[in-house]
Structure 1
Amino acid sequence: MRRIVFHQNGFGDLLVCFKALFAIKCLYPNDKLILAQNGFSDESFLQNISFIDEIYTGGGGG
Structure 2
Amino acid sequence: MNDWEDLPAVLTIEETARFLRRGYRCVLQLCHQRGFPAMRLGRRWLINRDGLRRWLDRETTEEK
TM-score (norm 2): 0.27
Hey, which of these two has a bigger chunk of helix by percent?
A: 2
- More contact order relative to length (CA 8 Å, sep ≥ 6): 1
Hey, which of these two has a bigger chunk of strand by percent?
A: 1
